């Protein structure tokens, strides 16, 4: 169960990044300090 957690977090983060990028990539880039 513990081994699934990191993968699950990475999956959620990946989906989040995709959704945010599609919705408003400029605002996300500013809020994240230009990382993405």
8 close to 1: Cβ distance less than 8 angstroms:
no
Which two three-digit tokens encode residue 1? 């169960």
Which pTM value belongs to this model?
Answer: 0.47
Domain regions of the chain by residue span: 1-27
The position carrying tokens 């919705």 is 23
Q: Alpha helices of 1-36 — where are they, by DSSP H?
A: 4-31
pLDDT above 70: residue 31: no
**Spatial separation of the C-alpha atoms in residues 10 and 7, rounded to whole Å:** 5
Q: What is the pLDDT of residues 9-26, one digit of tens each?
A: 989 999 988 877 776 656
């Amino acid at each position: 169960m513990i081994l699934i957690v990191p993968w699950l977090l990475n999956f959620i983060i990946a989906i989040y990044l995709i959704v945010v990028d599609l919705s408003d990539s400029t605002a996300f880039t500013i809020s994240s300090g230009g990382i993405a």
